[in-house]
Structure 1
Amino acid sequence: MSTDYQQARAALGLRLRELRGSCPGGRLTGTQLAERLGWTQSKVSKLENGRQTATAEDLRAWAEATGQPETYDELHARLNGFESHIRSWRRQLASGHRPVQDTWNALVAETSIIHGWENSMVSGMLQTADYARHVFIRYAELQKSARDTEDAVRARMKRQEWLYQPGKKFHIIMWEAALRALICPPSVLAAQLDRLAGVVGMDTVRLGIVPFGAPLKIPPADGFWIFDERLAITEDWHAELWLDDADSIGTYMRVWETLRESAVFGADAQRVINEAHRALG
């Protein structure tokens, strides 16, 4: 992920350097351009060397300062090309978690079948409001983002209405660790486990649990979601990765199918959930 992203950012930086060198009034040094823009020279250097991601405003200012405002559309298209696939948390959470939830709500609304894998926490589509609240608080602290916890919780709960629509299918597999991770008080986790037990048997939900003792063909790595086999989304600590090419989606579907072979369903899944509940004491 980071390699493709970095290569795209470096290519944009090279183009910015070309514009600085082809100013109609003559080539500008990095220091001269920084003075013209009111920036530090280090910012110009970082953008040109692909060590910082430009904003749309940065690109417009660059195009105008180098006397080539007509190049802005090209620069912005380059930015959109890799930002549409790599969505940094810094940018996404600038206004809080609610906008991110709204984006996901719109995506889910136009989807009929979702395949998901969670290795460390309960899937957002099945979270209780209290559990979701603690998740958002933890992430806001980590990312130092705006606090809009209650709005984010309401948006996530709104998305779960999709589970009660005829014709929808949610195929979700979770590692047993997701049932036991105390990212919230034990009482909240207990209620969350009750919620999970309650969705076993729903006609729109196929819930599988990979027990700790199950043999694994591949490591239970990062969580991901596949929407109608047209889009796959996974995430890291710094960004979400949105993949819409057939090869990548096919890879994630093979991963999902491989993990499914280690999962238990129905009464067996219920038993694993109950064991995790009892372990809370």
Structure 2
Amino acid sequence: MILVPGGRGQLGHDLAALSPTVRALSSAELDVTAVTAADLAGATAVINCAAYTAVDAAETDESTAFAVNAVGPGLLAEACASVGIPMIHVSTDYVFSGDGTRPYEPSDPVGPKSAYGRTKLEGERRVLEAGGWVVRTAWVYGVHGSNFVKTMAALESSRPSLSVVDDQVGSPTWSRDLAAGLLELASVLPDERLLHATGGGETTWFRFAQAIFEELGADPARVRPCTTADFPRPAPRPAYSVLSGAAWEAAGLRPLPQWRSALSEAFRAGVVAPRTGAAPLE
């Protein structure tokens, strides 16, 4: 049995859907900040999806984010090590400064600029110290939960046009593809403990939004580019979030599909519910 703390989110749902061996638990069912070895009874591996992901809220609530993103994964990794089962922990592009100009390798220097990024980086350190695996990903969306794709779809049906930042670059990642990759990793367990897994290729949030409009059958010209400065947020966003999958492939793992083809597949899988009787935009 593969135990998945934080299993009620979009990634946890997909892990459970892809494998009958997955037992996905909510934070109420398994609190990683108070986990013990006894909570892992019957597990053969753990994939940790539990995380504090409210990036802006973390700027004023870093202690809570630290508990969930750093203390919890560390305790979970130590518990796994004590009973001899592997643990895979999901991390983020936010551990980097975002000032890069080429895809980040796992070995590249880190430099988070947000509270969220700092807490996730400390979680990585604790997991690796305890002998676990860490997989960084970025720009994740899925059928379950809220995400950028669903937000854009809602705005498409309610606004004649919208502005989306065009100066942040990353790789959209369908949670089902990531889930499949994590399950493969759990079966291989390579020597390399720090890896990157995202959708292939790169784009900007603006181009991503245009692609979403295309999948909706809407005019992508209704999406207009703007800058990060036009929409200031409490937590700084990485300007460049592309993560290299070279180490992932070198470990014998299949690369995740290209982001654009994955988006089309996600729409076929129902990432956005079909619309019925929608009123035309004025």
Q: Which has the higher helix share?
A: 1
Highest CA radius of gyration, 1 or 2?
A: 1
Instruction: Indicate whether the TM-score tops 0.5.
Output: no
TM range, smaller chain: under 0.3
User: Relative contact order, CA 8 A, sep 6+: which one is greater?
Assistant: 2
